[in-house]
Amino acid sequence: MSGDECEVVTTGDGMSGDECEVVTTRDGARAMLDRRVGEVMHPVVGPAIEAARLYVGPSRLAARLAAGGEDPLLLLDVGLGAGSNAIAAWRLSESLPASARPLTIVSFERCLDPLRLALAPEHAGSFGLAGAAGEAARALLARGEHATARTRWRLVTGELPDTLAGEPADAADVVFWDPYSARQNPTLWSVAAFTALRRCCRPGVTLHTYSGATATRAALLLAGFVVGVGDASGEQRAGTCAALRRCDLARPLDLRWLARLSRSSAALPADAPADALQRISRHPQFAENM
Q: Indicate whether 149 belongs to any domain.
A: yes
Q: Indicate whether 30 belongs to any domain.
A: no
Q: Indicate whether 233 belongs to any domain.
A: yes
Average pLDDT of the segment spanning 8-21: 54
Measure the CA–CA gap between 186 and 107, rounded to whole angstroms: 20
Judge whether residue 273 has pLDDT over 80: yes
CATH number at residue 281: 3.40.50.150
Judge whether residue 4 has pLDDT over 50: no
| Amino acid 271: pLDDT | 96
Q: Indicate whether 52 belongs to any domain.
A: yes
Range of the domain at 267: 45-287
| Amino acid 38: pLDDT | 75
| Amino acid 282: pLDDT | 94
Measure the CA–CA gap between 284 and 49, rounded to whole angstroms: 35
Strand ranges across the sheet with 103-109: 145-147, 151-157, 103-109, 73-78, 172-177, 201-209, 240-243, 226-229
Q: How many domains does the chain have?
A: 1
DSSP string across the chain: ---TT----EEEEEEE-SSEEEEEETTS-EEEEETTTTEEESTTT-HHHHIIIIIITTTTHHHHHHT--SSPEEEEEE--TTSHHHHHHHHHHHHS-TTSPPEEEEEEES--HHHHHHTSTTTGGGGT-SHHHHHHHHHHHHHSEEE-SSEEEEEEES-TTGGGGGSPSS-EEEEEE--S-TTT-GGGGSHHHHHHHHHTEEEEEEEEES---HHHHHHHHHTT-EEEE----TTSPP-EEEESSGGG-SSB--HHHHHHHHH-SS-S-TT--TTHHHHHHT-HHHHTT-
| Amino acid 180: pLDDT | 87
Q: Indicate whether 12 belongs to any domain.
A: no
| Amino acid 181: pLDDT | 87
Q: Indicate whether 40 belongs to any domain.
A: no
| Amino acid 289: pLDDT | 52
pLDDT tens per residue, range 144-202: 999 999 999 999 999 999 999 999 999 999 999 999 888 889 999 999 999 999 999 99
Q: Indicate whether 10 belongs to any domain.
A: no
pLDDT tens per residue, range 196-254: 999 999 999 999 999 999 999 999 999 999 999 998 765 567 899 999 999 999 999 99
CA angle 274, 278, 282 (to 5 degrees): 140
Q: Indicate whether 33 belongs to any domain.
A: no
pLDDT tens per residue, range 56-109: 999 999 999 999 999 999 999 999 999 999 999 999 999 999 999 999 999 999
